[in-house]
Amino acid sequence: MLVAILKEARQDETRVALTPDAAKAVAGMGFSVAVESGAGLQAGASDEDYQAVGASISTKRGELLASADIFPVVNALPAGDQAQLKSGSVMVGFLRPLDEPAALEVAVQRGVTLFSMELVPRITRAQSMDALSSMATVAGYKAVIVAADHLPKLFPLLMTAAGTIPPAKVLVLGAGVAGLQAIATARRLGAVVEAYDVRAAAGEQVRSLGAKFIEVDLGGLQTEDKGGYATELSMEAMELGRRAIAKAARIADVVISTAQVPGRRAPLMIPAAVVEAMRPGSIIFDLAAPAGGNCEVTKPGETIVYHGVTVFGPVNLAAEMPVHASMLYSRNLSNFLQLILKKGELNINRADEIIAGSCVAFGGEIVNERVAAALHTAG
Ligand code: NAD
C-alpha cells in the first residue's frame, strides 16, 4: 500500500504532514512512501532527505492522487484533488470538519475515509496524537516572540546608569495549552504576567509559572465540561470576566488572548472600548482569530492598528514555525497512523474510541453526528 505526502495546497501553509523521520517510521510499518517533490522544503526537509529514508520522489501529483491509499495531510486536500482519489483511500489531518464541512463533500461522495486530527478525543491514550496541543504550544510561544518584537519597549526590568526600565506587563486571556506556553515565554523574557481563565483549575498552573491569576467570583458557576474544556458562559458571567479584563488591559503593554470554546465562536472578551482605553503602542495578539477572535476589532488574517493599538489576528500561526510545528505534528500523525495501519494493510477498528471519535466519513457516509449537523446547517 502506498502512503503519499503531497505539497500543501494552501498558500500560507509551510508545514509538511510527515517529516523524513515520520516517513521512515511509516515505511517501517510495511508501506511504500511517495513524496511530491518539494513537499517538505519549507519545513526544512529536502527531497534527498526523504529519499535517504527510502521514500520515492514524484513530480506527478495527479498520479499520486489517483494511486495512493493513504494521504496524511496538514490541511484537507482541495476539492479538485479530492475528485481524483480512489474509493476506500484515507485522508487524515486538520480537516476542519466542523468549520468547513462542505469542503469535504467531494471526498465523502467518492467513498474516501476521513479522519480529523481536531476530533481525536483528549483521553490519556491519545495524548501522543494530540496535534491541537502541539500547534497551540508553538502558537503560544510565537505569539509572545512576535509581540515582543513589535512592542516599542523592552520586556525585562533593566537597571542601568541611565535609569530603571520597568518590565513589560503582559496579560494572557485563556490559560489552556497556548496560554500557558505564552505565559512561560513572556516570563522567560522578563515580563510581569497576569492571566485570566474561567476554569478554576487553570489558576494553580498560572501561579506555578510565576504569573498572577486574576480571580473572578462567578458564584460557583460550572465553567468546565467532563473533558476539561470551558463551557459557554451566561451573559452575566461573561460580563464579570470582561470587567476584570478591562481593568487589567488598560495597564497592559501586551494582551495575548487564547480563549476558545470547542465548536463555538470564540468568546468576546475585549470590546472596542477596552482597546480604546489601552495605551498607544500596546499590542493585542488574538490567537482566537481563527474562531472569530476574542477582541471586537480583530480582523482574522490581518494585522491592524486601532486607536494606536496594534491588533494581530493570525489564522495560521503554527505555520510560521514550520520546522518544529511539522516535527510535532508528524509525530502526532504517525502515532495516529499506527492505530489504523497494521502489517502493511489498513486496519480500521471502528469500535476503538480514538478511531470512532476522529472518523468523519466512512464508506461514502458522514459518520460523525456533529459534522452531519454542521453540514446540514451550512447547507
Ligand atoms: P481551548 O483552546 O479550547 O481554550 C483555551 C482556554 O480558554 C481554555 O483554558 C479555556 O478554559 C479558556 N476559556 C474559554 N472561554 C473563556 C472565557 N469566556 N473566559 C476566559 N477563559 C476562557 O483549550 P485548550 O488549550 O485546548 O485546553 C483546554 C483544557 O484541556 C485544559 O485544561 C488543558 O489542560 C486540557 N487538555 C487536556 C488534554 C488531555 O490529553 N487530557 C490535552 C490537551 C489539553
Tell me which residue has its CA closest to atom 39 in ligand 1: 122
Residue 217 identity: D
- Which three cell numbers, joined as nine digits, stand for 376? 446540514
133 assigned to active site:
yes
- Which three cell numbers, joined as nine digits, stand for 301? 488574517
230 CA to middle of ligand 1, Å?
Answer: 6
Residue 248: predicted pLDDT = 97
What span, in angstroms and rounded, lies between the C-alpha atoms of 215 and 208? 15
Query: Ligand 1 pocket, 180 CB below 6 A?
Result: no
168 CA to middle of ligand 1, Å?
Answer: 25
Mean pLDDT calculated for residue range 110-114: 98
Structural contact between residues 316 and 169, judged by C-beta atoms closer than 8 angstroms: no
Q: How many distinct helices (H) and strands (E) make up the chain? A: 13, 19
Closest C-alpha to 185, from 197, 200, 168 = 168
Residue 181: predicted pLDDT = 98
Query: Ligand 1 pocket, 133 CB below 6 A?
Result: yes
Query: Ligand 1 pocket, 122 CB below 6 A?
Result: yes
Cα torsion 196, 197, 201, 202: sign:
negative
44: left (phi over 0), alpha (psi -120 to 50) or beta: left
297 CA to middle of ligand 1, Å?
Answer: 23
Residue whose grid cell is 488572548: 257
Mean pLDDT calculated for residue range 326-337: 98
Q: Identify the DSSP state of 299.
A: -
Residue 377: predicted pLDDT = 81
Which atom belonging to ligand 1 lies closest to the Cα atom of 266?
Answer: 15
What span, in angstroms and rounded, lies between the C-alpha atoms of 134 and 322? 12
Residue 179: predicted pLDDT = 98
**What interhelical angle do 201-208 and 177-188 show, nearest 10?**
20
| Mean pLDDT of the chain, nearest integer | 95
Residue 224: predicted pLDDT = 81
What span, in angstroms and rounded, lies between the C-alpha atoms of 190 and 326? 29
First to last CA, the chain: 36
Tell me which residue has its CA closest to atom 23 in ligand 1: 176
Mean pLDDT calculated for residue range 175-202: 96
Q: How confident is the model at residue 58 (pLDDT cuts 50, 70, 90)?
A: very high
175 CA to middle of ligand 1, Å?
Answer: 7
Q: How confident is the model at residue 231 (pLDDT cuts 50, 70, 90)?
A: confident
Residue 70: predicted pLDDT = 98
229 CA to middle of ligand 1, Å?
Answer: 5
| Dihedrals phi, psi of 364, to nearest 5 degrees | 80, 5
Q: Which of 199, 206, 235, 317 to mutate to test the pocket of ligand 1 (most atoms within 8 A of CB)?
A: 199
Q: Identify the DSSP state of 166.
A: P
Structural contact between residues 21 and 325, judged by C-beta atoms closer than 8 angstroms: no
Mean pLDDT calculated for residue range 276-295: 97
Query: Ligand 1 pocket, 129 CB below 6 A?
Result: no
Tell me which residue has its CA closest to atom 3 in ligand 1: 260
Residue 376: predicted pLDDT = 84
Structural contact between residues 114 and 107, judged by C-beta atoms closer than 8 angstroms: yes
- Which three cell numbers, joined as nine digits, stand for 2? 502506498
Q: Identify the DSSP state of 344.
A: T
314 CA to middle of ligand 1, Å?
Answer: 19
Query: Ligand 1 pocket, 354 CB below 6 A?
Result: no
Tell me which residue has its CA closest to atom 8 in ligand 1: 176
Alpha helices, DSSP H only, in 189-224? 201-208
Q: Is the pLDDT of residue 200 over 90?
A: no
- Which three cell numbers, joined as nine digits, stand for 187? 516570563
Q: Is the pLDDT of residue 228 over 90?
A: no
Active-site option among 127, 128, 208, 234: 127
- Which three cell numbers, joined as nine digits, stand for 94? 486538520
Closest C-alpha to 173, from 257, 287, 69 = 257
For 90-106, how does the pLDDT look when each residue is reduced to its tens digit (9 = 90+)? 999 999 999 899 999 99
Residue 347: predicted pLDDT = 95
Q: What percent of the chain has pLDDT over 90?
A: 88
243 assigned to active site:
no
Active-site option among 122, 188, 199, 370: 122
122 assigned to active site:
yes
Q: Is the pLDDT of residue 227 over 80?
A: no
For 75-87, how does the pLDDT look when each residue is reduced to its tens digit (9 = 90+)? 999 999 999 999 9
- With residue 259 as reference, give the H or E element that holds it: none
HSE-CB at 97 with a 13 A cutoff on CA atoms is 27
Mean pLDDT calculated for residue range 292-302: 98
Residue whose grid cell is 504532514: 17
Residue whose grid cell is 511539522: 326
Mean pLDDT calculated for residue range 271-300: 97
229 assigned to active site:
yes
Mean pLDDT calculated for residue range 360-365: 96
